[in-house]
Amino acid sequence: MAGTDPVPAAGAAPRGGGAAAQLKVRNLEAWYGESHALHGVDLDVFPGETVTLLGRNGVGKTTTLRAIMGIIRKRKGDVEFEQRSIMRLPLHRVARTGLGFVPEERGIFASLTVEENLLLPPVVAKGGMSLEEIYNIFPNLLERRTSPGTKLSGGEQQMLAIARILRTGVRMILLDEPTEGLAPVIVERIGEMLKVLKLHGLSVLLVEQNFRFAARIADHFYVMDHGKMIDSFSVSELPARTEALNTALGV
């Protein structure tokens, strides 16, 4: 099995319009202590794409993002970002290659003000938003700039978590469950925000439970089960897949 591609559609042919994949993951395995969590994940994200990982709870979606980023160090296989393997880089060098990470728990720091939270991630490349632009898009962050980051509402914290990565100039964001626990109105706003990211040419690898939300913004989907990809299809194939997906996701 090693090295072969269990998902025939992945990476083959027209996706990305002939361009090389920006993120290329091959046969990625990962462990939490003794427990084997990923069993050979393959996936591609092409420049400018929004790709969503679907799957039930506990199948390894979050683990996949953490293993790509290098937060989980016990891993095997290969991760290439922009044609360069990032497997051997220490964690703090990964962001410097242009890959940003927004964790599931959002990672807003309680001992930092909103503005300190915004300014925390170092700028890694040109082309990021300025503080001013961010405040223009999120006026409530400006209003609350001196309050502790965790005093914001859940939705505002999610906006802050994404906004601070936009400042850094990364070219791809790994985004873990941005809509979790948020009210529908806020989910709507997060969706708008992701569309803005797309307009800016950022690629997004999104983990999402909310299938309807994902369906509206993603270009390509992967379905995960038991630590590997079991399906891969583009947004145009979505209508034909809906029934199979409902079974696979148990909705």
Partner 1 sequence: MIFGVPLPALMGQLLIGLINGSFYALLSLGLAVIFGLLRVINFAHGAFYMLGAFAAWMLLAYAGIGYWGALILAPLIVGIVGMAIERLMLRRLYGLDHLYGLLFTFGLALLLEGTFRHFFGTSGQPYTAPEALRGATNLGFMVLPNYRGWVVVASLVICLGTWAVIEKTSIGAYLRAATENATLVQAFGVNVPVLLTVTYGFGCALAGIAGVLAAPVFQVSPLMGSNLIIIVFAVVVIGGMGSILGAIVTGYMLGIIEGLCKVFYPEAANIVVFVIMAIVLLLRPAGLFGKET
Residues interacting with partner 1, by CB under 8 A? 69-71, 90-96, 101, 103, 107, 109-112, 116, 119-122, 124, 168
Q: Least separation, in Å, of the C-beta of 122 and partner 1?
A: 5
* CB nearer partner 1, residue 119 or residue 230: 119
DSSP string, 35-62: EEEEEEEEEEE-TT-EEEEE--TTSSHH
Q: Could you tell me if 201 and 131 are in contact, meaning their C-beta atoms sit under 8 angstroms apart? A: no
Under DSSP, is residue 93 helix (H, G, I), strand (E, B) or coil?
Answer: helix
* CB nearer partner 1, residue 134 or residue 218: 134
Q: Least separation, in Å, of the C-beta of 198 and partner 1?
A: 22
Q: Least separation, in Å, of the C-beta of 197 and partner 1?
A: 18
* CB nearer partner 1, residue 92 or residue 212: 92
* CB nearer partner 1, residue 90 or residue 139: 90
**CA gap 219, 50 in Å, rounded:** 5
Cβ count near 58 (within 10 Å): 11
Q: Least separation, in Å, of the C-beta of 107 and partner 1?
A: 5
